[in-house]
Structure 1
Amino acid sequence: MRKTAIAGIVAGILVSCAPAWALTPAELAFHHAPVHYQDSDSSDYPSDYITAFDYDHDPITTNNWDNRGNGQWPATVYYSVVESCSHHFITYAFYHPRDWSDTIFDQEHENDLEGAIVAVRKDGSPHGRLEGMITVFHTDFYSFTPPGSPYTKGHETIDGKVSFEMDNGISRMKTVQEAKGHGLKAWPYTSDFNGSPNQDGIVYYPTLGAPTSPASGNDRRVYYRLVDIHAPGGMFDLAINDALQPPAQALTYASWGSFRGDTSGDCGSGLKSCSTNSANAPWGWDDGNDGASYRGEFALDPAHLFAHYFGNTAPFSTVYPNHPYLTKLRDAGFYSGHAPAGFPSQLDLNTLYGKLTNRCE
């Protein structure tokens, strides 16, 4: 009886000490969501508006260039949250139907998704502490730190500082994308748009209410919705579904991590060219010359990605109590000897599954 009573007291203490501040992935993603500066080009404003990959109400990605229309779609930013024992890794992904150009002999392609990932330390505060950011700029990654971050350069140099802007009582990091090709960095390290009145561009703010769409290519307050990459039937579920289908039946992805895209419509018109299947999802993002960091780690092993890019990260965990990408791959029956077609050869699924944990010491 005495042992039972003591056990009950201990259990009560453990329950009472449970972190009441623990938030859902959606709450974490909203709190850390950026104010997003999008450069736009007057020769085709709507092609620089961010939206959903299924903005035309179907998951078929080979008609997204063709269906662009006048661009009156709800502003959308995708997110995912992967949790290690020390950090939350939050990805934000920005979709455009067209990666386009108004320059002769240049190349265009259907679909475009580029983004950023941030490392947020679980420091006991409700939302954690932002320590670092890595962004996708076409086929290169760039790294940034906020003021006060302990991170130093690792295998890659640090490319700049993260800036912040107050929005409804929240200090939000700022990101920026160039027009046309939509490479992304921390604000103001790319594009010709920093928010000045004499510049073409759109400023997007996160909202828990209804999203809006730009009134023009010069709109300084547009509200974007956050959509979970792991929403039922969403971006990653479709990737799993297409990986289980014969290639001819795939609707969204040409192979693992690469969207289907063709040359229909006026893609590559004039003296330009149009490439196919050229846009990538986070599990296909890659910097080809950053050493021992591999395609897809943005989604599949973000702790390794940050440990590679930055120094002085300790204490830093590389195991994951919550990892929706790996969990869904495992639940779909994929393993090292049976990986999706096009899965990165440098990543071993069984080794990645070994990083999943039910408890943090």
Structure 2
Amino acid sequence: MLDRSSTTGRSRIARALTAAGAVVTLAAAHLAAPAPASAAVSRAELALRWAPIHYQDVDATGSHALGGQADYIARVDFDGDLNGRNNWDRAGQAGTSLAAHAYYSVVETNTHWYITYLFFHPRDWTDHPFFETEHENDGEGVLFAIERDGSPYGVLRAAVTVAHSDFYSYTPSGSTWTSGRESVDGTLQFQTSPHDTFSHPVTAQEAQGHGLKAYPQYSINGDGLVYYPSTVAETPSNGNDRDVRYRLVDIFAADGLWAQRANATLFVSLGTFAGDTSGDCGSGTFGCSTNSANAPWGWDDGNDVPARGELASDPAELSVEYFTIPGGLTRTYTYNPYAGAAAALAEAARTAPPTVD
């Protein structure tokens, strides 16, 4: 699982032009670049093609901000180990790496691909003493539902994002999917990446608490980072770097997060990261909570029908609850490593206490 891949010293002459690139709303059916008819893309290629261009707001105020670095996305093992209980303390320390990474998982049916992306931060923090708590570790993300229409990468039909303990749903302009049990919360926009030939969906996270929505429902307010999907991982040059490439990490890799799900130093229970109150977490604020961040198989909107973790583990079920889908879709998976632990996931959903994110 450990990976020290990063790129440094890259010239950023074109950054101003990149930052000025317009975000445009496009029909998703027109997004896939042509490929040979015989080419079958891998899951890694599929995840890279649909990975979002990601806007991260940055706040540099307060001692817990680490000069803005507390808002950088990172690997879970950015500090060289898989101990979830020392991440708050080690964030920003010399010898640790804030090279940009994001995690993904792909599950499949005969009609759709479902790709979940996780953006991890070592801290969920605040700079004032009232109302909000802090906690060690922070994991929020997005699900993309992609129809297998015969083209190499399919057509992106809908997205559901995770902002703390709530889910928000979006559809691209021209999508055939409409509101279902849940109302669609907005239009998913797309932007062309300067690093490949594709237009990518655009997501954004707020500073401090890192709730994630479709851009521009969150955006950059002052300083901020723009992350672009890539095969390399860059460390931001500062808290206002508008061209940072991030590398994708497969959750289902042999030594990946899913393989570590029973690692008691990383997870306190199925889908919940271990986190304590060590260091200055909660100092000068309302408080510091423990074990309060979740991996995708622990994400839950308690007010909605889908069970805890189903955004990642049973996205077809979540899709039919959230959206009206012409012709429906199949619920039978042809590839879903999460399903091997379906009983454990269901039991965890019934017995796990609520977590705060």
TM range (shorter): 0.7 to 0.9
Q: What's the % identity of the aligned pairs? A: 50
Q: Which has the higher contact order (CA 8 A, sep 6+)?
A: 2
- Unmatched tracts of structure 2, length 5 or more: 1-36, 352-357
- 1:299 is matched with 312
TM-score, normalised with respect to structure 2: 0.82
Report deviation, 1:343.
1.4
Q: Please say if 1:126 is aligned against 2:139.
A: no
Equivalent pairs counted in the alignment come to 306
- 1:144 is matched with 170
Q: Secondary structure at the match of 2:44?
A: helix
Q: Please say if 1:83 is aligned against 2:130.
A: no
Structure 2 residue corresponding to 1:344, chosen from 330, 349, 353? 349
Q: Secondary structure at the match of 1:220?
A: coil
Q: Secondary structure at the match of 2:161?
A: strand
Q: Please say if 1:48 is aligned against 2:65.
A: no
Equivalent residue runs for 1:217-228 within 5 Å: 217-228=239-250
Report deviation, 1:73.
2.0
- 1:267 is matched with 281
- 1:318 is matched with 331
Moved more, 20-29 or 84-93: 20-29
- Unmatched tracts of structure 1, length 5 or more: 1-18, 194-198, 243-249, 330-334, 347-361
- 2:44 is matched with 26
Could you tell me whether the CA contact under 8 Å between 1:256 and 1:341 is conserved in 2?
Answer: no
Could you tell me whether the CA contact under 8 Å between 1:76 and 1:225 is conserved in 2?
Answer: yes
Provide the rounded CA distance (Å) in 2 between the counterparts of 1:23 and 1:72.
31
- 1:185 is matched with 213
Report deviation, 1:135.
0.2
Q: Secondary structure at the match of 1:325?
A: helix
Equivalent residue runs for 1:270-289 within 5 Å: 270-289=284-303
Higher-Rg member (1/2)? 1
Deviation track 1:232-290 (CA, whole Å, cap 9, x = no partner) reads 22211010x33xxxxxxx11111111000000010000243000000011111000112
Provide the rounded CA distance (Å) in 1 between the counterparts of 2:135 and 2:144.
28
Could you tell me whether the CA contact under 8 Å between 2:128 and 2:284 is conserved in 1?
Answer: no
Deviation track 1:281-307 (CA, whole Å, cap 9, x = no partner) reads 1111000112x2111101211000011
TM-score, normalised with respect to structure 1: 0.81
Provide the rounded CA distance (Å) in 1 between the counterparts of 2:277 and 2:183.
37
Moved more, 308-317 or 294-303: 308-317
- 2:181 is matched with 155
